[in-house]
Amino acid sequence: MRIHALLVCVLLLAAGGPASTASAEHHEEASNTKFGLTEAERREVFRELAQVETRAEQEAARRFAADPESPDKVRLAERLAEEYRADLAERRGIDTKALTEIGAEGYLEKWPILLAPAKPPGVATEPPPQSR
């Protein structure tokens, strides 16, 4: 909690202090778009980021099922996560630094992840069964 409060103070100082009441509304609108993405879009990117990280972990665990404590499993998971993050950034038209910042924003703001089973990009999801 102290680290979060300290981070907020540092960010306020870097931004020139707290916004005045007159400019607060304008600042809120302007700050809603970052990296060319609205907050809703960044929330979606955050969710997708969690999915690719989970996918990398699951894939590495599958490949090293016989030796789950293997350092090679950790290295593979890191390599796959880096590759999947780069793919996500490219699909979203942002760089990996922006992706990292969106990840940090989502974590600090406690955005929900709502993980679904990780699927490779381009794989269609099945429609829900229809009741009769």
- Report CA torsion sign: 111, 46, 78, 57: positive
pLDDT by residue (tens digit) across 73-106? 999 999 999 999 999 999 999 999 999 999 999 9
Amino acid in the structure at residue 105: E
What is the rounded CA–CA span in Å between residue 32 and residue 26? 10
Q: Which of 57, 55, 37 is nearest to 105 (CA)?
A: 37
Res 1 pLDDT > 70:
no
pLDDT by residue (tens digit) across 39-51? 999 999 999 999 9
